[in-house]
Amino acid sequence: MPSHGQASELLLTHRSAVETVAGNLLEAMSSYAAATPAGDVVSMDDLRLVSSGVDYPVFNAVLLAKPFQGSSEEWRELLWEAAAHYKARRLGWSLWLSEEMLPRASLPLARASAARVGLRLIAEHQGMVAPEIRPTERGLKEKLEFRPVSDAPARADFCSVILRVFSVPSDIARRIYGSAEFWAGQYKAWVAYIGSQPVATMATCTTAEAVGVYSVGTLARYRGRGIGEAITRHGLQHASNAAGISRSILQSTPAGIPLYRRMGYQGAGRFQVYISS
């Protein structure tokens, strides 16, 4: 059993990891503000309101820029202000949050406050962090080609996978991911091909603390073959080499946790996604 000093150090390390995941997520989501001329990022006390300008809730996000230290009432007021901001713009919106970024006393009211402003919980992901990625012992039967999303054809192929894997409406996916401006920031991506068929995607967002992993998806008929892991390792290697950073973070669905643990990731908080009705 760890001593009191060791327990305190572990808690601080855990909180630091949660904040690293949250900070990288904020940077990644900020890319959506560049996708259309109507997009922007608005600061509201400890919150950042990232708007894509497209009426699709997950692309108009509210995130914490740092741990929130206020009261439950102050948190509720901030959410009302965020709701009013998006209502004035006639945009659906979402809240991306680790409840570990809120004071413990506020936790019982966190979800109730979200419900009062018209938000419903749609997903809860495991935040994860790895100092470095473990080598793989798994071989691939398919011959894969990995191409960066660096031109219009690659953007179109990225969209074709994303809209099917994540059920994003095709017109919305193309307006966001088909925009050259979206890709001008830190959000970089790869598409995996079998022959001429795009079959999987992954993206990275690099901050000073870590390389973030996003948009990992494989078409249904190609799953279970190690393609998702292969493209994730490929994209991570390129991003890590370019930035000189071995540490990486992600948020995983329950199904992905065993794979990511084998790759060397450990838990770093739980992240909730709420969307407006």
- 20-77 residue pLDDT tens: 999 999 999 999 999 999 999 999 999 999 999 999 999 999 999 999 988 888 999 9
Assess whether pLDDT exceeds 50 at residue 9.
no
Distances (CA, A) of 15 to 8, 47, 99, 277: 11, 18, 11, 31
Task: Report d(CA 86, CA 209) in Å as an integer.
Answer: 31
**Mean per-residue pLDDT over the chain, rounded:** 91
Residue pLDDT, tens place only, 68-121: 988 888 999 999 999 999 999 999 999 999 988 988 766 677 788 999 999 999
Tokens (6 digits) for 86: 């998006």
Burial 112-133 (b: 16+ CB within 10 A, else e): ebbeebbbeeeeebbbbbbeeb
Tokens 């390792």: give the residue.
Answer: 233
Question: What's the DSSP call for residue 134?
Answer: P
Instruction: Provide the β-strand partners of residue 267.
Output: 128
Is the predicted pLDDT of residue 137 greater than 90, yes or no? no
Task: Enumerate residues 6+ apart whose C-beta is below 8 A from 180.
Answer: 152, 155
| pLDDT tier, 13 (very low <50, low <70, confident <90, very high otherwise) | confident
**Could you tell me whether strands 60-64 and 94-97 are parallel, antiparallel, or unpaired per DSSP bridges?**
parallel
Domain boundaries, the chain: 4-125, 145-246
Strand partners, 248: 130, 211
DSSP code of residue 102 = S
Measured between alpha carbons, how far is 183 from 156 in angstroms, rounded to an integer? 13
What whole-number distance in Å separates Cα of residue 173 and Cα of residue 245? 30
Q: Which residue has the tokens 């935040």?
A: 127
Instruction: Considering only residues 3 and 13, tell me which one the structure prediction assigns the higher pLDDT.
Output: 13
Which residues are bridge partners to 125 per DSSP? Answer: 271
**If pLDDT is split at 50, 70 and 90, which confidence band does 10 have?**
very low
Q: Which 3 state secondary structure label does DSSP give 221?
A: helix
Rg (CA), the chain: 19
User: What pLDDT score was predicted for residue 105?
Assistant: 66
**3 burial type by CB count under 10 A (0-12 exposed, 13-18 middle, 19+ buried):** exposed
The CATH number for 145-246, chosen from 3.40.50.720, 3.30.360.10, 3.40.630.30, 3.10.20.30, is 3.40.630.30
Residue 79 and residue 211: Cα distance in Å, rounded? 29
CA 57/CA 51 separation, integer angstroms: 9
pTM given for the model: 0.91
Q: Give the pLDDT confidence of 142-193 residue by residue, as tens digits.
A: 799 999 999 999 999 999 999 999 999 999 999 999 999 999 989 999 999 9
Task: State residue 237's pLDDT score.
Answer: 96
> How large a percentage of the chain has pLDDT more than 90?
81
Is residue 254 left, alpha or beta, with left meaning phi > 0 and alpha meaning psi from -120 to 50? alpha
